Amino acid sequence: MIAGIAQRIDEDRLWQRLMDLAKFGATSKGGVCRLALSNEEIQARAALLAWAKSIGLKPSVDAAANLFLALEGREPRLPPLLIGSHIDSQPTGGKFDGAYGVLAALEAVHAMSELGDRPRRTIEVVAWMNEEGSRFAPGMMGSAVFTGRRKLADILPVQDRAGSTVETALRCVLDAERDVPRRPLGFPIAGFLEAHIEQGITLEQQGCTAGVVTGIQGKRTFRIEIIGEESHAGTTPRSVRRNALTSAVAVVDALQKAMWDEADTVRFTIGMFEVSPNVPSVVPGKVHFSIDLRHDNAHVIERLGNMIPGICEANRGRCEIAIRELLYDAPLQFPEEMCSRIATAAQRLCISHMRLQSPAGHDARYLHYFCPTGMIFIPCKDGISHNEAESITPADAAAGARILAQTAFELANQ
Ligand SMILES: [Zn+2]
């Protein structure tokens, strides 16, 4: 029976839906610009709802616009199993980041409904709201609010660049879906599975079709502000200057040296750097920059991150320095029971697979703290992602959906 479900996965149907969903927000270079809670996303959600209706799934939506499409189980009062990902994209994103996980999940429940063998628990396809965080920062908003990591009231005032708030944008989506029944935030769930493109080159390099994701890399982010004093470039002697840029260069150089590791496992990035007033004949009075630090090992990221304030203080020269830590997400390991279940499913289906860690963040991070969670990766060409050129093969897409369907069916029968 279990092999029957995997065999029912229809590669062409899954691929066609991937191509159809990619039309909402399609860019001229073959990518997708489907920002969270945008009109393009509202249209894409309508397509999901139409597919769900044709399969006989029950839709629902919560106050954070997380969208659920339920294949009712034999015992519908038990907490359901959730499977899915997100359908918002980066402004110059690809067709598959997130969308793959939602449509692979839809294909999985479609296969089950065709087979006519309902699992014990209800299985719900989920599209989490605003995973990317490119319109409204930070990302993973829907999953954070659902799992209680953040409060709905805290995300409502967040603005995009045009000054629209999450509250206004949410209202547009929920108005467009006013016929869809409402669900409470954080209803009890039995588990969560997310299929996703790898966004790296490991699977491709190892010639594997699927990845059993063992965990997610830890991440800490900081904002550093260095305050000096603006003064005349022609008249101010070096001895009295308080040059914020000179101090910033010293701080950055010291940080780079401290974060250097022989094994090349530390991911340390200064991706934003602003000098003001940023004019040629004024000694810079202020520098503002970001730090993004990531590592697999909890002790390493703790130790390195904790060194940052001291290094900043020691190298600030005559300037003032303010250090703000915005985010500290420790590395996490998914439960071994989920990993081995996914690996066993892949093995039974004769799909080549390996275990690997996810360097990128996913909604599965927040679900991990809420219920037993697992992730499945499929390869993407040259590891290119967050890019319009993102590419996968129909065969890999179907293989991932088969593993997802089989694992989900087993879990939902528990
Ligand atoms: Zn994603």
Tell me how far the alpha carbon of residue 140 lies from the centroid of ligand 1, in angstroms. Answer: 9
Extract the runs of DSSP E, i.e. beta strands, from 3-122.
58-61, 67-71, 81-86
Tell me how far the alpha carbon of residue 195 lies from the centroid of ligand 1, in angstroms. Answer: 10
Tell me how far the alpha carbon of residue 353 lies from the centroid of ligand 1, in angstroms. Answer: 20
Tell me how far the alpha carbon of residue 362 lies from the centroid of ligand 1, in angstroms. Answer: 6
Tell me how far the alpha carbon of residue 275 lies from the centroid of ligand 1, in angstroms. Answer: 32
Instruction: Name the DSSP class of 258.
Output: H
Tell me how far the alpha carbon of residue 350 lies from the centroid of ligand 1, in angstroms. Answer: 26
Tell me how far the alpha carbon of residue 77 lies from the centroid of ligand 1, in angstroms. Answer: 30
Let me know: does 55 contact 97? Beta carbons within 8 Å. no
Percent of the chain with pLDDT over 90: 97
Kindly report the average pLDDT of the chain as a whole number: 96
| pLDDT interval class at 66 (50, 70, 90) | very high
What is the mean pLDDT of the segment spanning 47-69? 98
Other residues' Cβ atoms within 10 Å of the Cβ of residue 171: 14
Tell me how far the alpha carbon of residue 132 lies from the centroid of ligand 1, in angstroms. Answer: 7
What is the mean pLDDT of the segment spanning 225-252? 97
- Given this model, what pLDDT does residue 316 score? 98
What is the mean pLDDT of the segment spanning 47-76? 98
15 CB-side CA count, 13 A: 12
Tell me how far the alpha carbon of residue 286 lies from the centroid of ligand 1, in angstroms. Answer: 35
Tens digits of residue pLDDT in 198-211: 999 999 999 999 99
Instruction: Name the DSSP class of 233.
Output: T
Provide the 3-class DSSP secondary structure of residue 339: helix
Tens digits of residue pLDDT in 262-281: 999 999 999 999 999 999 99
- Given this model, what pLDDT does residue 117 score? 82
Tens digits of residue pLDDT in 18-44: 999 999 999 999 999 999 999 999 999
Tell me how far the alpha carbon of residue 238 lies from the centroid of ligand 1, in angstroms. Answer: 49
User: Could you list which residues have their CB under 5 Å from ion ligand 1?
Assistant: 97-98
Tell me how far the alpha carbon of residue 196 lies from the centroid of ligand 1, in angstroms. Answer: 7
Tell me how far the alpha carbon of residue 356 lies from the centroid of ligand 1, in angstroms. Answer: 17
Comparing C-alpha atoms, which of 224, 185, 173, 154 is closest to residue 49? Answer: 173
Tell me how far the alpha carbon of residue 105 lies from the centroid of ligand 1, in angstroms. Answer: 14
Report whether pLDDT(2) > 60. no
| pLDDT interval class at 152 (50, 70, 90) | very high
Q: What is the rounded distance in angstroms from the CA atom of residue 170 to the CA atom of residue 78?
A: 29
Tell me how far the alpha carbon of residue 194 lies from the centroid of ligand 1, in angstroms. Answer: 10
Let me know: does 51 contact 17? Beta carbons within 8 Å. yes
What is the mean pLDDT of the segment spanning 330-335? 96
Q: What is the rounded distance in angstroms from the CA atom of residue 247 to the CA atom of residue 237?
A: 16
Tell me how far the alpha carbon of residue 303 lies from the centroid of ligand 1, in angstroms. Answer: 28
User: Phi then psi for 133, rounded to 5 degrees?
Assistant: 70, 20
Tell me how far the alpha carbon of residue 232 lies from the centroid of ligand 1, in angstroms. Answer: 48
Tell me the C-alpha to C-alpha distance, in Å, between residue 35 and each of 133, 279, 315, 397.
9, 34, 40, 23
Tell me how far the alpha carbon of residue 103 lies from the centroid of ligand 1, in angstroms. Answer: 13
- Given this model, what pLDDT does residue 3 score? 60
Count of helix runs (H) and strand runs (E) in the chain: 13, 16
Tens digits of residue pLDDT in 359-414: 999 999 999 999 999 999 999 999 999 999 999 999 999 999 999 999 999 999 99
Tell me how far the alpha carbon of residue 260 lies from the centroid of ligand 1, in angstroms. Answer: 29
Report whether pLDDT(109) > 70. yes
Tell me how far the alpha carbon of residue 243 lies from the centroid of ligand 1, in angstroms. Answer: 41
Going by their DSSP bridges, the two strands 191-197 and 373-378 should be labelled as parallel
Percent of the chain with pLDDT over 70: 99
